[in-house]
Amino acid sequence: MTDEKNNTLLPKVAVLMATYNGEKYLREQVESVLRQKDVAVSLYVRDDNSTDTTVQIMNGYAGSNSNVFLLSTRPAQLNVTKNFFSIVTELDLNNIDYISYCDQDDIWLDNKLAEAVKMISNKQVSCYASNLLRGDANGKIIQRSSVFAKLTNYLFNHKSNKQLRFDHYLEAASAGCTLVLHKDAAEYFQKRINSIYDQIPVNASHDWSTYAITRIGGYRWYIDDRSYIIYRQHSANAYGVNNGMKGVSKLLDLFSSGWYRKHILMIEDLYNDSDVHPDFITVIRDHNNASIISRFRVATAVCRYRRKPIHRLMLFVLIMAGYFK
């Protein structure tokens, strides 16, 4: 049973968890959420029609912890993003100060949420993200000893580069499990999700979408170069840390399938309710992948808005090579 004494004075954080067949690692993750220091946590979970014991595990937690809530299962498969966003639409934000996403298989350090809350206040922002500690299947931190490992970690996992004006059209702040929104941003985000929920594609990215919607709404972000989450890597990851050749392969798949280009246009068409419209959207709409001139126009228009210089170069090469479909 959770200890509720003195919780009334602590920042209230709603943690949103989307589960699906997560029985193997679920308990360790939930325990790490419930151990969070210096915040009052409420854990809201929606299962996406699991066929293992995930629901039974979460029923056990909900029965013994007054701050754990297992929401009703939707009949149809939601997938990750729509599952998270379905929870957002049902949240009562009147007694909540912050919201945060939570994967089913990671391990949070005890001060993860407290540090996020502190940095939101100190930096006078509304939204927070951070870097990640990469973990193995056993939840042990993977030490990056070789030059190659350190390089790939910087290329794919280091998120805290300086934000740029339109970077939210091209990338997320960080992995969704690091994101924390203050109530003001959460209220705006909830309102936008409520208005467009049925139109959001099931293969949309929840972390990228959250970053884009709040940035378009004028809410400021801080991306922490520190890490407070062990991002567990295992064979059943829905997503994962994009390291090495596996990461390159995933990146090529997203580009060659047209997903990346469609996601950029979705941000403009579905999420942008402001009067600011980047010029490169027209270039992307008119893009002809068979034309090297069109590829060059797109590459020069969008690459400057990736936060990391090496990612600008990688994006330029991918577009010029014909992967931006």
What CATH number is given to the structural domain containing 151? 3.90.550.10
Residues 128 and 166 in one domain: yes
Residues 41 and 89 reside in one and the same domain: yes
Whether 253 is in a domain gets the answer no
Indicate whether 186 and 49 sit together in one domain. Answer: yes
Domain identity same for 299 and 177: no
Is residue 117 situated within a structural domain? yes
Same domain (yes/no): 282, 223 = no
270 and 230 fall within a common domain: no
Task: Evaluate whether residue 250 is within a structural domain.
Answer: no
Strand boundaries in 158-248, DSSP class E: 180-182, 221-232
Rounded to the nearest 10 degrees, what angle do helices 244-256 and 259-266 cross at? 60
Output the pTM of the full model. 0.91
Task: State the Cα–Cα distance between residues 302 and 299, nearest whole angstrom.
Answer: 6
Domain assignment of residue 249, yes or no: no
CA distance 149 to 155: 10
Clarify whether residues 178 and 286 are in a common domain: no
- From first to last of its 325 residues, the chain has per-residue pLDDT tens of 445 545 778 999 999 999 999 999 999 999 999 999 999 999 999 999 999 999 999 999 999 999 999 999 999 999 999 999 999 999 999 999 999 999 999 999 999 999 999 999 999 999 999 999 888 888 788 776 666 666 555 555 667 788 999 999 999 999 999 999 999 999 999 999 999 999 999 999 999 999 999 999 999 999 999 999 998 875 555 444 444 556 667 778 888 899 999 999 999 999 999 999 999 999 999 999 999 999 999 999 999 999 999 899 999 999 999 999 9
Same domain, 176 and 286: no
Q: Between helices 309-320 and 147-156, what is the axis angle to 10°?
A: 80
Task: Classify 322 as helix, strand or coil.
Answer: coil
50 lies in some domain: yes
Number of domains the chain is built from? 2
Distance CA 310, CA 123 (A): 27
Does a structural domain hold residue 1? no
Q: Looking at 207, 241, 275, which one is the last position of a domain?
A: 241
Collect all residues with Cβ–Cβ distance below 8 Å to 261 and sequence separation of at least 6: 255, 284, 287, 324, 325
Please name which of 209, 157, 214 lies closest in space to residue 187, comparing C-alpha atoms: 214
Question: Residues 235, 95: one domain?
Answer: yes
For the chain, report the end-to-end CA distance as a whole number of angstroms: 52
Q: Are 233 and 266 contained in the same domain?
A: no
Distances (CA, A) of 233 to 137, 138, 167: 5, 9, 27
Same domain flag for 184 and 299: no
Domain hosting residue 178, numbered range: 7-241
Residues 20 and 147 in one domain: yes
Last residue of a domain, one of 176, 211, 241: 241
Q: Assess if residue 248 is contained within a domain.
A: no
d(CA 108, CA 245) in angstroms, rounded, equals: 27
Q: Which of 208, 241, 274 is the last residue of a domain?
A: 241
Residue 161 and residue 175 in contact, taking contact as beta carbons nearer than 8 Å:
no
251: in domain: no
